[in-house]
Amino acid sequence: MIQFEALFQISYGLYIVSSGNKTAGNGYISNTVFQVTAEPPQFAASCNKDNYTAKFIRESGSFAVSVLHTDADPDLIGRFGYKSGKDFDKMAGMHIKYGETGAPIVLNDCIAFLECKVVQTIDAGTHLLFIGELVQAEVVDDTKDPITYLHYRRVRKGLSPKNAPTYIDKSKIEEKTPASGLKKFECTACGYVYDEVEQDVRFANLPDDWVCPVCGSEKSDFIEC
Amino acid sequence: MIQFEALFQISYGLYIVSSGNKTAGNGYISNTVFQVTAEPPQFAASCNKDNYTAKFIRESGSFAVSVLHTDADPDLIGRFGYKSGKDFDKMAGMHIKYGETGAPIVLNDCIAFLECKVVQTIDAGTHLLFIGELVQAEVVDDTKDPITYLHYRRVRKGLSPKNAPTYIDKSKIEEKTPASGLKKFECTACGYVYDEVEQDVRFANLPDDWVCPVCGSEKSDFIEC
**B35-64, pLDDT tens digit by residue?**
999 999 999 999 999 999 999 999 999 999
Of A38, A30, A24, A31, which Cα lies nearest the Cα of A10?
A: A31
Residues A71 and A125 both lie in one domain: yes
Q: Which residues in chain B have Cβ-Cβ distances shorter than 8 Å to A40?
A: 125
B128, closest residue in chain A (CA to CA): A36
Q: Are residues B33 and B107 in the same domain?
A: yes
Please judge whether A112 and B9 are an interchain contact, meaning their C-beta atoms are less than 8 angstroms apart.
Answer: yes
Whether the per-residue pLDDT at B174 is higher than 70: the answer is no
Percentage of chain A surpassing pLDDT 90?
60
**CA of residue B49 relative to chain centroid, distance:** 16
| Chain-chain contact of A37 with B124 (C-beta, under 8 angstroms) | yes
Same structural domain, A217 and A136: no
Q: How far is A200 from chain B (nearest CA, A)?
A: 26
Residues of A in contact with B149 (CB under 8 A): 11
Q: Mean per-residue pLDDT for B19-42?
A: 95
Residues B129, A5: C-beta atoms closer than 8 Å? no
Q: Tell whether B7 is covered by a domain.
A: no
- pLDDT band at B180; cut points 50, 70, 90: low
CB contact under 8 A, B46 and A40: no
Contact flag A12-B7 (C-beta cutoff 8 Å): no
CA atoms of B200 and A10, how far apart (whole Å): 35
Task: Give the mean model confidence (pLDDT) for residues B187-206.
Answer: 86
Of the three residues B154, B187, B214, the one that is the final residue of a domain is B154
Compute the nearest-CA separation of A55 from chain B (Å).
18
Closest residue in A to B10 (Cα–Cα): A13
Assigned domain for A2 exists: no
- Note whether A20 and A95 are same-domain residues: yes
Which phi and psi (to 5°) does residue B209 adopt? Answer: -90, 10
Q: Are residues B186 and B149 in the same domain?
A: no
Q: Do A11 and B46 touch (CB under 8 A)?
A: no
For β-strands B104-106 and B110-123, DSSP reports them as: unpaired
Among A17-31, A58-72, A93-107, A193-207, the least confident range: A193-207
- Percentage of residues of chain B with pLDDT beyond 70: 95
Is A5 contained in some domain?
no
Judge contact between A161 and A167, C-beta under 8 A.
Answer: yes
Q: Answer yes or no: is A44 within a domain.
A: yes
* Closest by CA position to B72, among listed B30, B105, B110, B18: B110
By C-alpha distance, which of B90, B62, B81, B92 is closest to B15?
Answer: B81
- Note whether B28 and B133 are same-domain residues: yes
Which chain B residue is nearest to residue A34, measuring alpha carbons? Answer: B32
A142 with A218, same domain: the answer is: no
Minimal Cβ distance to A36: which of B3, B114, B124: B124
My answer on whether A113 and A201 are in the same domain is no
Our count of domains for chain B comes to 2
Q: Do A3 and B46 touch (CB under 8 A)?
A: no
Nearest residue of A to residue B163, measured between CA atoms: A38
Whole domain around residue A39: which residue ranges?
Answer: 11-154
**For the purposes of burial, counting CB atoms within 10 Å of the CB of B92, is it exposed (0-12), middle (13-18) or buried (19 or more)?**
exposed
pLDDT at B28: 96
Identify whether B104 is part of a domain: yes
B137 & B51 share domain: yes
Regarding whether A61 and A20 lie in a shared domain, the answer is yes
Residue A54 lies in a domain: yes
- Domain assignment present for residue B95? The answer is yes
Cα torsion angle, B79, B84, B87, B89, sign: positive
Determine the distance in angstroms separating the CA of B36 from the nearest CA of chain A, rounded to an integer: 5
Domain end position, chosen among A123, A154, A185:
A154
C-alpha distance from B205 to closest chain A C-alpha (Å): 34
What CATH code is carried by the domain that includes residue B148? 2.30.110.10
pLDDT tens digits, A151-207: 887 777 777 888 888 888 766 665 544 556 788 998 888 888 898 888 878 898 888
Q: Per residue, what are the HEC states of chain B?
A: CECHHHHHHCCCECEEEEEECCCCEEEEEECCEEEEECCCCEEEEEEECCCHHHHHHHHHCEEEEEEEECCCCHHHHHHHHCCCCCCCCCCCCCCEEECCCCCEEECCCEEEEEEEEEEEEEECCCEEEEEEEEEEEEECCCCCCECEHHHHHHCCCCCCCCCCCCCCCHHHCCCCCCCCCCCEEEECCCCCEEECCCCCCCHHHCCCCCECCCCCCEHHHEEEC
In a domain, B195, yes or no: yes
Q: What is the largest CA-CA distance in chain B?
A: 58
Average pLDDT score, chain A: 90
- Residues A81 and B175: their CA atoms lie apart, in Å, by 38
| Contact indicator for B157, B193 with CB cutoff of 8 Å | yes
Q: Is A209 found in the same domain as A98?
A: no
Q: Final residue of a domain: which of A106, A122, A154?
A: A154
Q: How far is B13 from chain A (nearest CA, A)?
A: 5
Q: Are residues B128 and B190 in the same domain?
A: no
d(CA A167, CA B41): 9
Q: Is the pLDDT of residue B73 over 60?
A: yes
* Three-class HEC string of chain A: CECHHHHHHCCCECEEEEEECCCCEEEEEECCEEEEECCCCEEEEEEECCCHHHHHHHHHCEEEEEEEECCCCHHHHHHHHCCCCCCCCCCCCCCEEECCCCCEEECCCEEEEEEEEEEEEEECCCEEEEEEEEEEEEECCCCCCECEHHHHHHCCCCCCCCCCCCCCCHHHCCCCCCCCCCCEEEECCCCCEEECCCCCCCHHHCCCCCECCCCCCEHHHEEEC
| pLDDT at residue B199 greater than cutoff 90 | no
CATH code, domain with B185 = 2.20.28.10
